[in-house]
Amino acid sequence: MSRSTSPQTGGTSRRVPRRPASALAERWTSVDGIDVFFRESPRQPPGARAMVHVHGFGLSGRYLLPTAERLAGEYRTYVPDLPGFGRSGRRRDMLDIPDLAHATARFLDDRAEESATLVGNSMGCPVIIEFAHHYPERIERAVLVSPAGGLFNQPLRRAISQLTQDARREPARMARVAVPDYMRFGVPSTARLFRALTRYPSLERLLEMRIPTLVVLGERDPLLPHAHRIDEIASQVDSHVLVVLLEGAAHAINFSHPGQLAHIIRLFMDDKPIVNDPAWPGHVRAYEVHRGANHPPLADDA
């Protein structure tokens, strides 16, 4: 497979020269004949664990950068635009959730990574859950931030209303990232992928997972049911799921609260209790809503 880092021409390419938007290194490669744009740690930490950040519906990986950059010095970090999204090329047949999960696996193949921790936001969470279903040996841990796509987001008009509410709760600068991505993704792709997303059995697959899984919810997220409802569902079975609620956050936590999210992820990765950083502003606080019975025990020095 190609490990190219320079633009090439081709029928599936969308490569447009532009000023880098991140401290992460910008790269190009080819996955299943599709040009894929991604960012990675400019200097891979020796011996570090691999971490892939998976974007949400209609978006590119760009809005994930604030969190990914904070973790890039500790993990071998990758932020791809999945096929059909952002600056990457697209297939003639629309990708659905299983296709995107397989594309993520082949991206790992291309990067010569046998396994990784996957960090997703919104639609990226079902992609990660499907990845774990097909490739359980290749996912070390899962971080699901603001998972979306279930019954709570149906029908489409309800989801649009929820997104409109959320837009008013996100930082204004988020629009400068999201609007161009949504316009590039297009209306036909939105309708087709929305159907695939809402039909995906996220909850059933989540409860089947047997790896340490962190779910981070925003207290002000209109796309999700109340955290206590999620706790009620998660408590139905002995699971490996740790649910954390972040006060003051809406849906795009990876963009709006990157310092807090990176802090929570570090604690989770080291099996430490979720505690607040004293430097956080007073209106931001994180606390555990649910810790699954099969979650790894806390580290001795926690």
75 CB-contact burial (10 Å; exposed 0-12 / middle 13-18 / buried 19+): buried
Q: Which helix H or strand E contains 143, and what residues bound it?
A: strand 139-145
- 157 falls in which pLDDT band (50, 70, 90)? low
- CB-based contact 214:264 (threshold 8 Å): yes
Nearest to 39, CA basis, from 87, 74, 105 = 87
> Residue 239 corresponds to which tokens in the numbers above?
């699971």
- CB-based contact 244:284 (threshold 8 Å): no
How far is C-alpha 302 from the chain's CA centre?
27
**Strand pairing partners for 241?**
213
252 CB-contact burial (10 Å; exposed 0-12 / middle 13-18 / buried 19+): buried
**pLDDT higher than 60, residue 12:** no
Averaged pLDDT for residues 214-243:
73
pLDDT score recorded for residue 220: 85
- What is the rounded CA–CA span in Å between residue 182 and residue 57? 9
How far is the first Cα of the chain from the last one, in angstroms, to the nearest whole number? Answer: 42
Q: What is the pLDDT of residues 15-46, one digit of tens each?
A: 545 555 678 999 999 999 999 999 999 887 78
Q: What is the pLDDT of residues 45-58, one digit of tens each?
A: 788 999 999 999 89
Report domain extents, the chain. Answer: 25-291
Q: What integer best gives the mean pLDDT of the chain?
A: 83
pTM of the complete model: 0.86
- 8 falls in which pLDDT band (50, 70, 90)? very low
pLDDT score recorded for residue 73: 92
Backbone angles phi, psi at 144, to 5 degrees: -110, 105
Averaged pLDDT for residues 178-201:
82
Backbone angles phi, psi at 255, to 5 degrees: -95, -45
Averaged pLDDT for residues 285-301:
74
* Degrees, nearest 5: CA angle 106-109-114: 125
pLDDT score recorded for residue 234: 61
Length of the chain: 302
**pLDDT higher than 50, residue 67:** yes
Averaged pLDDT for residues 181-190:
82
Nearest to 97, CA basis, from 19, 206, 190, 196 = 196
pLDDT score recorded for residue 163: 67
105 CB-contact burial (10 Å; exposed 0-12 / middle 13-18 / buried 19+): middle
pLDDT score recorded for residue 1: 46
Q: Is residue 101 classed as helix, strand or coil in its secondary structure?
A: helix
Class of domain 25-291: alpha beta
Q: What is the pLDDT of residues 88-147, one digit of tens each?
A: 998 877 678 999 999 999 999 999 999 999 999 999 999 999 999 999 999 999 999 998
